[in-house]
A and B are shown apart, each in its own frame.
Chain A
């Protein structure tokens, strides 16, 4: 299979301007972003609040229109609507029709997706089972908990057995059990050879779930690739906590080793590269400092994320 046909989602140089209020002045929220998602992967679209994640997803779902640029899903331009029978979408914090029961709700979406009438009842029952809501199928959605709503939402997105699933912040507002349940559903879906595109700002979920990520900050893509590759390239570091050193001497050592410094009332703290720990400790002890602790710090996605946010902010 060619590299291109492996691409399920392709975004090329998308720009989006909004006009806040009635003014003529435009605000650019996406600055020409490009990325792609490959078949069969769990793709994490990561960024802080207001970075442009939901805007990008809404453009892909045809809910808002890009100012310029191109995007395609499964090889079809996003302006078309027929390919949408191969995709499922769960918006962030959805409400859904709370006057419907779970079963009525799924039946409604199955009809809209063109699931053959004869199969709807069986399909809905199977789906309720799959998302763990078989017991609540005949209850109205207004009585569902947040976790149950999120699960019926995923059911709605899966009702026509799509190829690609788009999830906007699927874990937000859920308790640890709810998050685990959603994670399990995502894994199950991937195991069946499907592709998942999820936006999130919860980095532990990204580390646990995603095969590939793109980090977006202030409407620009800062990184794209596998989370493991980022972690490999990131320098490992350590934190040294010490006391009993004059500020001027402390500053000299920090400058010599390019250490980051954080002071509190009782202690000072240096952040240094892992290969410099011995030298820094020696220097501190020579000057009479009392070393309290040395803690190795593994580079986490969080650190990369924070760096990206800081870089994006510059």
Chain B
């Protein structure tokens, strides 16, 4: 056996793991995506602003004589969710677009990995980044709350957990749009779906209360098709000490996984057919 064929044989052997190899490739791309994100300045800019806003909750709460801890935590949760979504959408779309724009994707797709594996790697890398940032923001939230004497309960942690699941879903939507449209349109569509997703329950309820049959059907279908993002919002429960049941947490988690999977499959189907001109 020559050196070349021996080397080739080793690559074959290492490559024939099937599922193991696919998972390995996804992990490699995901790891690289996390590295790219944490080495970019934009992410830190977002993070610094988020932490400043969480800290600003202390100042805002001093404007009130009552419910200072609640105001502090309302502002804190708003900061975590706002910056989380901003990072999921803008950093997510930016990173996928950059791969095509800078032609880095060309060399990756010329390797023995499919486009779907690339996209999944990118997705999980982005989700890991967004979760990492959420974790840091949650730490800042807890630190500020403790310093200001505001209570931090299990419900607070559940609220952060569901926020993280919501961001996973939003990242899938952002990736889906970035597989076929420009960053500007992908951002607009993603922000639009995010806002509409938070109103989908209201649309359903308005439809149900309406006398118009058409609006009733529209409201019901809008709620079915749009992501029901208000289901991930436990911040009111956390801030006002409203009890949370197991299904309140488990159902949104399953919903996020199912919805994200469907969106990712649609993204993969679109990406597989795309011409990289």
Contact = CB atoms under 8 A, between A and B. Distances in A.
Interface of A: 18, 58, 61-65, 81-91, 93-97, 99-100, 108-109, 111-117, 119, 153, 156-157, 160-161, 166, 192
Contacts of B10: 115-116, 119
A84 B15 contact: no
Contacts of B11: 85, 113-116, 160-161
Contacts of B8: 86, 161
Contact of B104 (A64, A85, A94, A119): A94
16 contacts: A58-B106, A58-B277, A63-B110, A87-B110, A89-B106, A94-B106, A99-B39, A100-B35, A111-B25, A112-B112, A112-B113, A113-B11, A116-B11, A153-B107, A160-B11, A166-B110
A138 to B, nearest CB: 15
Contact of B24 (A83, A108, A111, A119): A111
A83 B113 CA distance: 10
A72 to B, nearest CB: 16
Contacts of B15: 82, 85, 114
A119 B109 CA distance: 23
Nearest to A29: B277
Contacts of B111: 84-85, 109, 112-113, 160
A63 B7 contact: no
B107 A62 contact: no
B7 A91 contact: no
B180 to A, nearest CB: 13
A82 B21 CA distance: 12
Contacts of B114: 81
Nearest to B121: A112
Contacts of A94: 102-104, 106-107
B40 interface: yes
Given A63-B110, A95-B104, A109-B107, 11 more contacts: A18-B277, A85-B111, A89-B107, A90-B107, A91-B103, A94-B102, A95-B103, A97-B32, A119-B10, A157-B107, A160-B11
B275 interface: yes
A93 B107 CA distance: 12
Contact of B21 (A109, A114, A161): A114
Contacts, number: 107
Question: What secondary structure prevails in chain B residues at the interface with A?
Answer: helix
Nearest to B40: A99
B152 to A, nearest CB: 36
Contacts of B107: 89-91, 94, 96, 109, 153, 156-157
A116 B276 contact: no
Given A91-B106, A94-B103, A116 B24 contact: no
Nearest to A92: B103
A90 B104 CA distance: 10
Contacts of A156: 107
A114 B112 contact: yes
A85 to B, nearest CB: 4
Interface in B1-32: 4, 7-8, 10-15, 21, 24-25, 28-29, 32
Nearest to B38: A99
Nearest to A64: B275
A112 B28 contact: yes
A108 B14 contact: no
A156 B108 CA distance: 10
Contact of A111 (B28, B40, B102, B103): B28
B36 A97 contact: yes
From A18, A88, A91, residue with most partner B Cβ within 10 Å: A91
A109 B110 CA distance: 11
Given A91-B106, A96-B104, A111-B28, A64 B277 contact: yes
Nearest to B274: A64
Contact of B276 (A58, A119, A161, A166): A58
B110 A61 contact: yes
Contacts of B276: 58, 63-64
A169 to B, nearest CB: 12
Contacts of A88: 110
A302 to B, nearest CB: 29
A117 B107 CA distance: 20
Contact of A112 (B25, B103, B273, B275): B25
Contacts of A119: 10
Interface string B76-111: 000000000000000000000000001110111111
A270 B103 CA distance: 48
Nearest to A19: B275
B110 A113 contact: no
| 8 A-B pairs with the lowest CB-CB distances in the bound complex, closest first | A114-B15, A89-B110, A95-B102, A64-B275, A99-B39, A91-B106, A84-B112, A63-B276
